[in-house]
Amino acid sequence: MVHNMAIIGYGGMGGWHHSSIREMVPELRVKGAYDIRQEIQQKISANGLHAYQSVEELLADETVELVTIAVPNNFHKDYAIACLKAGKNVVCEKPVTLNAAELEEIIAVSKEEGKLFTVHQNRRWDRDYRVVKNILESGVIGKPYFIETRVQGSRGSMHGWRGYKENGGGMLYDWGVHLLDQLLDMIPSRVVSVSAHLESVFTEEVDDNVKLMLLFENGVSALMEFSTNCFINHPRWHVSCTEGTAVVENWECDGKIVKLAENAEQMKWEDDIVYTAAGPTRTMAPRPAHTTQVLELPKVDTKWEDYYRNIVGVLEQKEELIVKPEQALRVMKLIDMVFGAVEHGGIATCYI
């Protein structure tokens, strides 16, 4: 069975949803789209879709079962509620809303109407993320205690509407939601404290350099960074576990695992001082090479289109929803905490 869908907002991401679904998800058919700009309406027609002349026309189309919302962030809530009230199932782009209260309103309407509501947290299907999740789940290097996760661009300020507060601009909303969603999906524990440092280095109204430190109830801590002006990047992931360290350098998944060698005994401290290039030290003395082994990162199989396949499975009542609105709500509560923390010295305790 093929399900008809429509898209609201046919810019960079709306157009991408259309072309990707057309290529990879034959169970869905994008029937049409609506965009507020006339020149984009022409593009919608040129791309072989019906260009709805208004949202009302789109919502009145009874053949449309699912609507994807891909407009700037401040318009997500009103469109989501309008779609749900018109009986449509909804996929909303991230960040789902500007705060937790807005999302709670949407969730209430989706329950009242009995319609599906979910968020395009596509980065749960990213290979670098799946590699790290696989390492933690397999226990190959023991238990995690510190995770560093970063995305660092080098273009300077935030671009277009992403530079304005009114539109929900800034790096925390833009990339922070992806990395927070990944982390919460990976660590089965509550967050008990957040330290936050938000800077606006090049963008006047919103943050473009964010550092967060999260502490989970199970003892894992995570350092997160999303920034726009870095010319020599840190690794995408650096994961410290009780029996080894894993590094994923980039989205291509270059990297390695270094772990204790099989049957290697714990290191004994030398009685004598050790001389390194930086002078004498015992604490930082390097391990002898034979006490460790280097492993390749695990191979994982992941496909973005499984995101929409899951939605088709939910519409056909064959599958449970993967990206649950309650999970998005946890992320939004953390974002609320971060903005609150910034106003109160940068640190907040919580139970999220």
Ligand X SMILES: NC(=O)c1ccc[n+]([C@@H]2O[C@H](COP(=O)([O-])OP(=O)(O)OC[C@H]3O[C@@H](n4cnc5c(N)ncnc54)[C@H](O)[C@@H]3O)[C@@H](O)[C@H]2O)c1
Q: Which residues bind ligand X (CB under 6 A)?
A: 8-14, 35-37, 40, 70-73, 75, 93-94, 120, 122, 160-161
Cα(147)–Cα(180) distance, rounded to whole angstroms?
Answer: 12
Extended beta strands in 159-243, E state: 191-199, 209-216, 221-227, 237-241
Half-sphere exposure of 81 (CA within 13 A, CB side): 11
Amino acid making up residue 183: L
- State which residue, 73 or 182, has the beta carbon closest to ligand X: 73
Half-sphere exposure of 124 (CA within 13 A, CB side): 22
Q: How far is the CB of 215 from ligand X (least distance, A)?
A: 27
CB-based closest residue to ligand X: 11
**Local structure of residue 140 (DSSP, 8 states):** T
Cα(210)–Cα(222) distance, rounded to whole angstroms?
Answer: 14
Q: How far is the CB of 67 from ligand X (least distance, A)?
A: 12
28 by DSSP, 3-state: which? Answer: strand
Q: How far is the CB of 94 from ligand X (least distance, A)?
A: 5
Cα(175)–Cα(151) distance, rounded to whole angstroms?
Answer: 8
- State which residue, 82 or 260, has the beta carbon closest to ligand X: 82
- State which residue, 59 or 260, has the beta carbon closest to ligand X: 59
Residue 122 has a CB neighbour count (10 Å cut-off) of 18
Cα(27)–Cα(244) distance, rounded to whole angstroms?
Answer: 43
- State which residue, 160 or 219, has the beta carbon closest to ligand X: 160
Q: How far is the CB of 13 from ligand X (least distance, A)?
A: 3
Q: How far is the CB of 12 from ligand X (least distance, A)?
A: 3
- State which residue, 162 or 333, has the beta carbon closest to ligand X: 162
- State which residue, 9 or 244, has the beta carbon closest to ligand X: 9
- State which residue, 77 or 120, has the beta carbon closest to ligand X: 120
Q: How far is the CB of 59 from ligand X (least distance, A)?
A: 13
Q: How far is the CB of 47 from ligand X (least distance, A)?
A: 13
The neighbouring-strand residues paired with 211 are 197, 225
For residues 163 and 202, the answer to whether their CB atoms sit within 8 Å is: no
For residues 17 and 80, the answer to whether their CB atoms sit within 8 Å is: no
The residue among 336, 326, 350, 331 whose CA lies nearest residue 99 is 336
- State which residue, 71 or 253, has the beta carbon closest to ligand X: 71
First-to-final CA distance of the chain: 39
Amino acid making up residue 342: V
Q: How far is the CB of 84 from ligand X (least distance, A)?
A: 17
